[in-house]
Amino acid sequence: MSGGVAALLSLALAAQAPAELLAEGRPGPALLAAEALPVPLDRARWRLRVLHQAGWLDLALEEARAGLVAHPSDGYLLDQAGWLAASLGFPEASSEIAGRMVARETRDASWPTKIARQQADAERLAREARLLTSSLLRARLACGAVLALVGAGLMGARQRLPARA
């Protein structure tokens, strides 16, 4: 596609709101329309929303975190980043976002509930990560013990075999 045609397509997509394109099930054009939004915070929020609704959760989390660099106290970006980090099972990111949520000053009456949810998710993920690490260690030790027993058994069997002539 030539540069002129691409520019015209971008202008046409910018005229159509990302919400409309997303509602039509067109995440690619919705993402382009979001990119064309003139206000950086709106652009970050809409890119996040499109990626999230398209099911690209890992990319949506990256977008939320990138948006938080420029807009560190934005409640929507923080809330979505927390939800995505918890959904994807990232304990460190989930905990870091919970801390940022606690530090945010707001009059939003629902914010304490969101903080509590994020803290609970972060604690659950940390607990699960510790359990997984512990389980993997036990599995490695069990495998090592089995290999040692098999090796000892083979050595013992070899010693009992008659010598070849």
pLDDT class of 163 with cuts at 50, 70, 90: low
What was the pLDDT predicted at 159?
73
What was the pLDDT predicted at 154?
79
Q: What is the CATH number assigned to the segment(s) 37-132?
A: 1.25.40.10
Contacts 24+ apart (CB under 8 A), 61-68: 61/85, 61/88, 61/90, 61/93, 65/93, 67/41, 68/100
Q: Model pTM?
A: 0.67
Over the stretch 4-48, which tens digit does the pLDDT of each residue have?
555 445 545 454 689 999 999 999 999 999 999 999 999 999 999
A 10 A CB-CB count for 135 gives: 10
